[in-house]
Structure 1
Amino acid sequence: MNLGILEQMPTPKGKTAEDIVEETLSFGQYAEQLGYERFWFAEHHATKGMASSSPEIMMAALASRTTRLHVGSGGILLPQYSAYKVASQLLQLQALFPGRIEAGVGRSPGGGERVRSALADGKENQLNAYPEKLEALAGYVRGQSPQGVRATPRTEAAPPVYSLGLGENSAEIAARLGIGYVYGHFIDPSRGEAAHEVYRQQFTLGSLTAPHALTAVFVICGESDAHAEKLATSQDMWLLRTEKGLDSRVPTVEEAKAAKKTERDQQKIRENRRRMIIGGPDTVREQLSYLTERYHNDKWLILTNIHDVNEKRRSFERIISLF
């Protein structure tokens, strides 16, 4: 089992952005000590509840504090940016930390239309241009010249490029370009089997010589199933409020339990649990092993967005000890 971490830098109430940055870097160092393979940073904007808006900067900061850990982005919002500029940033990171940079990109707008427009400096929506931009990015990173110019610095090896997605279409694009693929089970678990199958079956040689897929999933591993359920109430309420456009800071367990919930809220929480693995060590081992067999993929990116940073660390300690 190959285990990594996808960090959205969730912000508990009462914590500043400065607090979260320092806690995250410390956590990344600890993840390396525990034996995690990779540590990726998400990109989110215009939210109080997630402090990771510039994955490239966080990658550099964590790489400078670690020696073995692969650091990556999960993912840079490619449609809003120049493929050439993104490639140049990734190659600069590769030059600083050879062999430890992983480039995950996605087609998300990054928020509402005003956020998307601000990120793209007022340019028209280019979400539909994602396949072309992804192909250009992969070319620039490999040292090609898609528009007659090469991205610099020209490193000896190229950082691997991964495309994030939620179904067969995104898997087909990654397979056709011969790059890595990340399936977001933590967003939508319904297309996982089909997406992984398409990626494996349609993969052609490109930047990679063989398919390399990762699966991202929420996991909370408690001392027992009951303990994990208690911790999960914090994540349940955070996710519910985030999806409703409300205060997206992570609540305490006590606040989450006391919050008023409509029947529709309760139903949504139950639906969201399909995106998660919640339980004690035996339950987590069983469910993660089941998904590994179902997806024919044993490479994971794990998210845990709960209020208590110490409980979060202990959850990751338990998870890696299982495998």
Structure 2
Amino acid sequence: MRLGILDQIPKSKGRSAEETVAETLATVQYAEKLGYERYWFAEHHATKGMLSSSPEMMMAAAASRTGSIHVGSGGILLPQYSAYKVAAQLLQLQALFPGRIDAGVGRSPGGAERVRSALADGKENQPAEYPDKLEDLARYINGEQVKGVRATPRTEEAPALYSLGLGENSAELAASLGVGYVYGHFINPARGQAAHDIYQQQFTSGVMRSPHALTAIFIVCGESDEHAENLAISQDVWLLRTEKGLDSRVPSVQEAKFAKRTKQDQKKIKENRKRMIIGGPHTAKEELKRLAERYQNDDWLLLTNIYDVEEKRRSFERIASLF
């Protein structure tokens, strides 16, 4: 198994933004010591609880505090930005930290329409532009001219480019352009096998010479199944509230246990568990192996959005020790 982390920088209740970001950078350093291969940052805007609003900034901060771990974006909201500007930022990072930059991009609007509009400076939402922008981005970071312009700095090697997706269409696009592919099992677990199959079968050499797929999944690995279930309660309630557009800060285990939940809420929590692995070391290992076999893929990005940062680190440590 090849292990990485995808961090939305979830803020626990009672913690400040400054404390949360400092703890996140310490976690990157710890992940490197544990042998994790990569540490990626998401992009979210205008929420109380997810603080990763500028993955490029977090990548620079994380890389400057580490020596070998790859840092990446999971992912930059490409439809809202200029492909040239995104390329310039990624190439600048690659020049600063050669061989350590993973450039993950996606077509998400980034939040509510008013947020998306602010990001795009009032431009209409045009997700259909994503394939063209992704192709332009691939050409820019490869040193090619696009519309008579080359992005700088011109690094000896290009950053590793990945496209995020949730199904067959996104896998086909990544394969056709010869870029890496990241499947969001933590968002939609239903299309993973088909997406991975199409990506592997249809890949043509481009930015990457051979296919490279990653799978992103929620995971909590406790000392035992019972311990993991207790820790995961805060993630269950956090996800439920976040999807409702409510407070997206992570509640404590105590608050989560006593939070009012309707029958519909309980049903939703049960449904959301399909997006997660929750268990002790044996359960976590067997579930990861089962999904790796189904997807024919052994490269993972792990998300752990629980309340206690020390328990989160111990969860990552247990998973690292399994493989």
4+ residue runs over 4 A deviation: none
Kindly provide the amino acid, as one letter, of the partner of residue 96 in structure 2: L
Partner of 1:182: helix, strand, or coil?
Answer: strand
Residue 56 (structure 1) aligns with: 56
Tell me what 2:157 maps to. Answer: 157
| 1:1-323 pair list within 5 angstroms | 1-323=1-323
Mapped to 2, the partners of 1:123 and 1:7 lie a distance apart of: 28
The separation in 2 between residues aligned to 1:14 and 1:267, in whole angstroms, is: 28
- Counterpart of 1:61 in structure 2: which amino acid? A
| Separation (CA, whole Å) in 1 of partners of 2:146 and 2:189 | 35
Q: 1:127 is matched by which residue type in structure 2? A: P
Is there any run of 5+ residues in structure 1 with no aligned partner, and where? none
Q: Percent identity over the alignment?
A: 75
Letter aligned with residue 221 of structure 1: C
Query: Secondary structure, in 3 states, of the residue corresponding to 2:104?
Result: strand
Task: Work out the CA distance in 2 between the residues paired with 1:145 and 1:123.
Answer: 25
- Structure 2 Cα separation of the partners of residues 131 and 115 of structure 1: 22
TM-score (norm 2): 1.00
Within 2, Cα distance between the matches of 1:299 and 1:274? Answer: 19
Secondary structure class of the residue paired with 2:6: strand
Aligned residues: 323
Q: CA deviation at 1:237?
A: 0.1
Residues in 2 aligned to 1:15 and 1:145: alpha-carbon distance in whole angstroms: 46
Cα offset, 1:127, TM superposition? 1.0
- The amino acid of 1:14's aligned partner reads G
Structure 2 unaligned regions, length at least 5: none
Give the letter aligned to residue 18 of structure 2.
E
Aligned to 1:105, what secondary structure does the other structure show?
A: strand
Q: Name the SS for the 1:6 alignment partner.
A: strand
* Alpha-carbon separation, structure 2, partners of 1:269 and 1:130: 32
Matched position secondary structure for 1:71? strand
Secondary structure of the structure 1 residue equivalent to 2:117: helix
Cα distance in 1 between the residues matched to 2:287 and 2:20: 30
Q: Aligned Cα RMSD in Å?
A: 0.4
Q: Quick one: which amino acid aligns to residue 130 of structure 1?
A: Y
Query: Counterpart of 1:153 in 2: which secondary structure?
Result: coil
* d(CA) in 2 for partners of 1:173, 1:302: 24
Deviation of the 1:146 alpha carbon: 1.7
Q: Secondary structure at the match of 1:131?
A: helix
| CA distance in structure 2 between the aligned counterparts of 1:54 and 1:165, rounded to whole angstroms | 20
Instruction: Note the C-alpha offset of 1:222.
Output: 0.3
In 1, Cα distance between the equivalents of 2:280 and 2:16? 31
